[in-house]
């Protein structure tokens, strides 16, 4: 039988074990889960083409996660002609405000291949999530698409627009919340 550990030795072993757990978590934290979200709990996909499916409740959790910076949410579909009209403006503004404003797309009623092709065609640098049954859109109270919503850094909705939004109009609204 081994003699019991001394208190200093037991503390040292516990500290070493805790350090190994932190190291293991850090080494494994860079990947993504099958739905495109991060294993650390983030709902925002790193891959702009991942298109994880979120329900209305998880979308609200995503918005809460993004508090601290303004957020532009754009509800779109690859088959929507006004979405195609505003797509290049969204790409330009996302690049212009990169690091200061988070853009998030909400793709509705699309197949993944069509949605991914649309994102690539529009050259959007930001991620989108999938809302195949329009649950998110409906929970926010909108009927048509596209819809653009701006939240300030505290998470309060400051602006929304139904239909294709112009680049200068959205830039002006963004400037008001920065």
CB-CB neighbours of 175 under 10 Å: 9
Asked if pLDDT for residue 18 goes beyond 60, the answer is: no
**Most trustworthy range by pLDDT among 1-10, 35-44, 90-99:** 90-99
Radius of gyration of the chain (CA): 21
pLDDT band of 8, cuts 50, 70, 90: low
Cα(71)–Cα(65) distance, rounded to whole angstroms?
11
Q: Are 105 and 80 in contact (CB under 8 A)?
A: no
- Give the largest Cα separation in the chain, rounded: 78
Tens digits of per-residue pLDDT, 108-156? 999 999 999 999 999 999 999 999 999 999 999 999 999 999 999 999 9
* Mean pLDDT score of the chain: 85
pLDDT band of 9, cuts 50, 70, 90: low
Global confidence as pTM: 0.78
pLDDT of residue 32: 39
Helices within the chain (DSSP H only):
7-28, 56-65, 81-96, 112-122, 135-139, 167-177
pLDDT of residue 6: 55
pLDDT of residue 4: 55
Asked if pLDDT for residue 175 goes beyond 80, the answer is: yes
68-94 average pLDDT score: 98
Cα(88)–Cα(148) distance, rounded to whole angstroms?
14
Domains of the chain plus CATH, in order, are 56-177 (3.40.30.10)
Q: Are 149 and 140 in contact (CB under 8 A)?
A: yes
């Amino acid at each position: 039988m081994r003699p019991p550990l001394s208190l200093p030795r037991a503390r040292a072993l516990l500290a070493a074990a805790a350090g190994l757990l932190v190291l293991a978590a850090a080494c494994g934290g860079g990947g993504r889960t099958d739905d495109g979200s991060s294993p650390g709990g983030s709902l925002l996909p790193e891959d702009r083409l991942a298109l994880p499916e979120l329900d209305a409740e998880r979308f609200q959790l995503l918005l809460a996660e993004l508090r601290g910076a303004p957020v532009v949410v754009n509800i779109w579909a690859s088959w929507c002609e006004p979405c195609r009209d505003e797509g290049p403006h969204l790409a330009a503004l996302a690049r212009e405000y990169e690091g200061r404003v988070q853009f998030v797309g909400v793709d509705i009623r699309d197949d993944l291949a069509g949605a991914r092709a649309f994102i690539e065609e529009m050259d959007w640098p930001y991620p989108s999530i999938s809302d195949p049954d329009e649950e998110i859109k409906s929970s926010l109270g909108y009927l048509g698409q596209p819809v653009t919503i701006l939240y300030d850094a505290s998470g309060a909705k400051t602006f929304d627009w139904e239909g294709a939004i112009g680049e200068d109009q959205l830039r002006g609204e963004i400037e008001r919340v920065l």
